[in-house]
Structure 1
Amino acid sequence: MLCDTSPLPRVTTAILGMHTDEVWNMEWSHNGQYLASASKDKTAIIWQVEHDKDPSVREIFPKHILREHKFPVGCVAWSPKDDYLLTASENEIRLWDVERGTCIARDVDYHSELVTALAWLPDNAQFISGGLDQKIIIWDLDCKPRDSWSYCPIRVMDLTLTPDFSRVVAIGMYDVVPEVPPVPTPPENGVPQARPTTENRVIVYDLATKQPETFISTEGELTSVKISLDSRCALINSSAPRTSPGEIILYDLELKQIVRKFTGHKQSRHVIRGSLGGYDGNFLASGSEDGIVYIWHRDSGKLLEALAGHGSGSVNSVAWNPHNVRMLASCSDDKTIRIWEAPPSVASGAPVNSAEPAEPATYEQDGGKGKG
């Protein structure tokens, strides 16, 4: 199958360097005008992006730096109307007013362990959280719990809603205690102890009933799940032993089977997140522990691009801009976010020899703009 790769984002047009430690996660607003980033430095930043200008002169600047977290920030989520932003730090959830940059609600009581995922319901007034404490909770805008899942057997690593809001897809670890332990463990009070083993599972829930529809056991620790725009497929990142490269699977929610696997990147220890996007959602991108951004063709599974530019450490997350399909963001252990775009002057099918423009715009901690 021939694939036009000319619209792929393969040059760096901006380097955002305001964070002072590893950048772990990020998400574009639905209108594509803002990018929220989450960092180990205990802050989240709302970046504002100008789309009506040439990339060489476009401004990307921090609208707000959200500093009230006591611990590293692990996840962010935009409300459907882009007027609120959620952040999670350890077991705390905060709700922010995007225009003012102020925290208007918070909770630290209901999750007893790390909150790993946040997702909004379509009414713009309720959201869902998942955590390592095996809880999935529905909240209101006061950060008060309104409902919860009665059955969640996994330590949730990530969850998301399908775009048609019919399902919740959760991934995580399931502890299994065998009836007869394969290796005896030291007894306590004279009773032999079974050694628990861990399975990695995907659970698909019906959102209306909160009941599970599908259970899938997989190899490798699952770290991220994203859903295609047609609500048909789930893109799942999973780690592998250091002797293996790791893989990304595309799971068909209707057929209830894996339809494609993507390899070429490296993931054995870290939480790495992928993203579906580009024209008609035909491409997927992922970070990698080797500091490279990888892009594949969704239908063929062919690896199309390996974008170098980040410094040492992992590229932890990537995100396609929903407003501009030629734009991709990536964040890294090197404390930066890179904005990648398709070269505007390249004709369809013409080769591009560099993943780095002459002078990408850089934005440093003092708020100034310079050149890389």
Structure 2
Amino acid sequence: MCGACCLGTSPSSSPTWRSIVQVGKKRPIRTLYSKKYGVDLIRYTHGDANTVVYSSNKLDDTIRYLSLTDNKYIRYFPGHTDRVVALSMSPVDDTFISGSLDMTIRLWDLRSPNCQGLTNPLGKPVCSYDPEGLIFAAGVDSEAIKLYDLRSFDKGPFASFETLFSRVCEWTGLKFSRDGKQILISTNGGAIRILDAFNGSVLHTFSGYNNSKGISLEACFTPDSDFVMIGSEDGRVHVWSTESGMKIAVLDGKHSGPINTLQFNPKYMTFASACSNMAFWLPCVGD
């Protein structure tokens, strides 16, 4: 989500198209097909709502840089030898990072097809930039957090935290809060966790939502970092306070299936949730 528009992929195990939906509108503005390569992770580029980078789920593991205005590829980023499972765009410039099942994390620049840096975290990675764009965090093999400085990326992590909770599911996503103080770990199990970004300690564990089938459910912070939200197998959205750790709401969006994607708008007080259909949410203002 870039603020005014939201991107969605086809509702299948092997998505082949992307739809651009304008906030407040019921129909897609445009549908773009990628039948040859398939579509998996999609990210808007920094400061440009007309271009995206995305990973494929067919043919190869090259990342592609696409213009949404004319549906033409601007650049290709080859290098990964297995499926890309993490993709994060810098909040301050034209660099991005990708994590793959080939057990590598790569640093890229939109202006060059060549990999700008590579590290081997020794496990399946999930990764994300911090809000300042100075460091990134990598979750490795669902058991450790490693912090890297972008200025010395190839030298390895400057800090590592081993998590002490038992591994009963896989980590499927990692995000920083907007204030940079917390890290949110999404999983394919029945619990998500918030960690202290400075020492790796567990601040809260959020559970009590349905995910019996082990689906990868995306969780997110609200822009003020005060709440965490996640969809569930039964089509509901669960909301917790990051301060108290208490669940404060369960929202029913009438979804027909599991909500595997949820994104809060970075500019407006709205968020989007999606299964095979997409729902836009607005605040309810009382008298």
Output the TM-score relative to the length of structure 1: 0.68
Which secondary structure state, in structure 2, belongs to the residue aligned with residue 78 of structure 1? Answer: strand
Matched-pair contact (CA < 8 Å) for 2:86–2:173:
no
Q: Deviations over 1:165-185 (max 9, x none)?
A: 122112242xxxxxxxxxxxx
Which secondary structure state, in structure 2, belongs to the residue aligned with residue 149 of structure 1? Answer: strand
Once the two structures are superposed, the pairs formed by residues 65-104 of structure 1 within 5 Å of their partners are: 65-82=31-48, 83-90=50-57, 91-104=61-74
Alignment counterpart, residue 226 of structure 2, candidates 282, 285, 301: 282
Tell me if 1:208 matches 2:177: no
Alignment counterpart, residue 195 of structure 2, candidates 225, 248, 251: 251
Residue 29 of structure 2 is matched in structure 1 by: 63
Amino acid at match of 2:175: K
Alignment counterpart, residue 97 of structure 2, candidates 128, 135, 153: 128
Residue 160 of structure 1 is matched in structure 2 by: 128
Residue 309 of structure 1 is matched in structure 2 by: 253
The alpha carbon displacement at 1:99 in A equals: 3.4
Residue 170 of structure 1 is matched in structure 2 by: 138
The alpha carbon displacement at 1:207 in A equals: 2.3
Number of residue pairs the alignment of both structures matches: 273
Matched-pair contact (CA < 8 Å) for 1:137–1:145:
no
Residue 178 of structure 2 is matched in structure 1 by: 229
Amino acid at match of 2:160: T
Tell me if 1:320 matches 2:264: yes
Matched-pair contact (CA < 8 Å) for 2:128–2:174:
yes
Tell me if 1:46 matches 2:16: no
Q: Could you tell me how far apart the structure 2 residues matched to 1:331 and 1:143 are? A: 33
Residue 359 of structure 1 is matched in structure 2 by: none
Amino acid at match of 1:47: V
Q: Could you tell me how far apart the structure 2 residues matched to 1:60 and 1:105 are? A: 32
The alpha carbon displacement at 1:160 in A equals: 0.8
The alpha carbon displacement at 1:252 in A equals: 0.8
- Are residues 97 and 71 of structure 1, via their aligned partners in 2, closer, same or farther at CA, if it must alter by over 3 Å? closer
- Are residues 150 and 342 of structure 1, via their aligned partners in 2, closer, same or farther at CA, if it must alter by over 3 Å? closer
Answer 1 or 2: higher relative contact order, Cα 8 Å, separation at least 6. Answer: 1
Q: Could you tell me how far apart the structure 1 residues matched to 2:71 and 2:89 are? A: 19
Amino acid at match of 2:54: T
- Are residues 312 and 46 of structure 1, via their aligned partners in 2, closer, same or farther at CA, if it must alter by over 3 Å? closer
Q: Deviations over 1:35-81 (max 9, x none)?
A: 112333311222222xxxxxxxx435423322124354221111121
Matched-pair contact (CA < 8 Å) for 1:120–1:128:
yes
Q: Could you tell me how far apart the structure 1 residues matched to 2:254 and 2:148 are? A: 37
Residue 107 of structure 2 is matched in structure 1 by: 138
The alpha carbon displacement at 1:142 in A equals: 5.4
Matched-pair contact (CA < 8 Å) for 1:38–1:75:
no
Give the stretch that moved more between structures: 77-86 or 59-68.
Answer: 59-68
Which secondary structure state, in structure 1, belongs to the residue aligned with residue 193 of structure 2? Answer: strand
Matched-pair contact (CA < 8 Å) for 1:64–1:101:
no
Matched-pair contact (CA < 8 Å) for 1:135–1:148:
no
The alpha carbon displacement at 1:132 in A equals: 0.9
The alpha carbon displacement at 1:33 in A equals: 0.8
Identity %: 26
Matched-pair contact (CA < 8 Å) for 2:210–2:234:
yes
Which secondary structure state, in structure 1, belongs to the residue aligned with residue 40 of structure 2? Answer: strand
Amino acid at match of 1:80: H
Once the two structures are superposed, the pairs formed by residues 183-202 of structure 1 within 5 Å of their partners are: 200-202=143-145
Residue 365 of structure 1 is matched in structure 2 by: none
Q: Could you tell me how far apart the structure 1 residues matched to 2:107 and 2:279 are? A: 33
The alpha carbon displacement at 1:273 in A equals: 0.6
Matched-pair contact (CA < 8 Å) for 2:88–2:129:
yes
Amino acid at match of 1:295: V
Output the TM-score relative to the length of structure 2: 0.86
Q: Could you tell me how far apart the structure 2 residues matched to 1:159 and 1:117 are? A: 6
Amino acid at match of 2:28: P
RMSD, matched Cα: 2.2
Q: Deviations over 1:83-141 (max 9, x none)?
A: 4211111223111123334322224x411111112222356433221111112112232
Matched-pair contact (CA < 8 Å) for 2:127–2:137:
yes
Residue 150 of structure 1 is matched in structure 2 by: 119
List gaps (5 residues or longer) in structure 2. none
